Amino acid sequence: MLKNKNIVLGVTGGIAAYKCVDLVSRLRKKGAEVHVILTKGAQNFVAETAMREISGNSVVTSMWQDIPHYDVEHIALANLADLVLIAPATANLLAKAAAGMADDMLTTTLLATKAPVFFAPAMNSNMYENPVTQNNICALQQRGWHLIPPASGHLACGTDGIGRMPEPSELIEAVEGCFRPKCRSMAGLRVLVTAAGTREPIDPVRYIGNRSSGKMGYAIARAAAELGAEVTLISGPSALPVPPGMNVLQVESARDMRRLVLDAFSSSDIVIKAAAVSDYRVKNTSDHKIKKNDTELTLVLEKNPDILRELGQLKQPQQILVGFAAETQNLVQYAQSKLEKKNLDMIVANDVSNPKAGFNVDTNLIKLLKRDGSIEEIPLMSKKELAYVILSRVMELKNMNGAIE
């Protein structure tokens, strides 16, 4: 997979830099061409001569050094790279990269490259968990960079906690994934996804709606299609572009959604209900625009069907049913009760009062609750990345399910 690939390895000033000698040696054994950039800090931990010997290439230590065979200037490595790996990535490097700074050869290369970028943070756990560092990581992930999460264990500062750079073999496994032919782990499965909010008419020009944008549901539908599934997306009104490569059905009201979902349900292997369905509709909708008067207007609302609950009753043992719980308080307790009442295999609980989670933002912060009572907290990440995390857990359930059948 790595044969003849140009890997630019940026090493920054953390104690874990010593592992990079082994990392470069392993990359070369896999057939990669390795080009090392050592920041000033890194040069305190690993010698340029060692890296030059082990990589078989000149090592870049400064913006201004003269390296004869790198064509021209400071962006030569950025253009040459098939992949850039920063290991270890210090908090300082992450902050500079997130801010778009270019004050040395590594940050300049990062700003100029179009190649995929992987970064392996390594630092003291308080520094890693500091919201400033977490925000920088989140910003880089939103830009499409790939995080290789640090491991927990004994740290160089003498404490135990999260912040250790993973072993070279694990770093290599992560970057190899980038060159693997696209994974089709959901091929042959029919996946039904609902997304966005429903609209309940009041009269021909007005409706009751909600703040759901459809971003989470659309991201799940796209990711499932990317993984090879045959996807049907049933969506309430959304400003998002219609995703390619799937069957997209547009609906307005909860009752429209119910009809289409029930039609598709029996032939679906996996159903993920991310839609924000209106629990009530207007009892007597007006055929004509309601004219204002001088007093109050009272709308009488009647209950809409709970689509997910119906699906829970119809569900066959081989089907996987996933719901969402959008809450502003008692997140776990309410989500747990929906998981049970609606007979779900898993529920995605999100606290929509958090500005980085829930409606109409690009990130989400969720907990995954399963029938076995487990609760998994997923760190803040983009909805696009989260879609793959959710699908990987769904596939674990599907595979367990298959094993039981």
Residue from 36, 82, 84 nearest 179 by CA: 82
Q: How far is the CB of 252 from ligand CTP (least distance, A)?
A: 14
Closer residue to ligand CTP, CB minimum distance, 37 or 193: 193
Q: Contact with ligand CTP (CB under 6 A): which of 87, 277, 368, 381? A: 277
Q: Contact with ligand CTP (CB under 6 A): which of 20, 83, 326, 346? A: 326
Q: Contact with ligand CTP (CB under 6 A): which of 6, 90, 113, 304? A: 304
279 binds ligand CTP (CB under 6 A): yes
213 binds ligand CTP (CB under 6 A): no
Q: How far is the CB of 277 from ligand CTP (least distance, A)?
A: 4
Closer residue to ligand CTP, CB minimum distance, 11 or 339: 339
252 binds ligand CTP (CB under 6 A): no
Q: How far is the CB of 186 from ligand CTP (least distance, A)?
A: 20
Indicate the length of the chain as a whole number. 405
Contacts of 252 (CB under 8 A, 6+ apart): 198, 199, 201, 207, 236, 237
Q: How far is the CB of 352 from ligand CTP (least distance, A)?
A: 9
Contact 215, 239 (CB under 8 A): no
235 binds ligand CTP (CB under 6 A): no
Q: Contact with ligand CTP (CB under 6 A): which of 97, 275, 321, 365? A: 275
234 binds ligand CTP (CB under 6 A): no
Q: Compute how many residues bind ligand CTP; rule: CB under 6 A.
A: 14
**Quick check: is 178 catalytic?**
no
Q: Which residues are identified as catalytic?
A: 157
Under the rule (CB under 6 A), what is the footprint of ligand CTP?
254, 273, 275, 277, 279, 304, 306-308, 323-326, 338
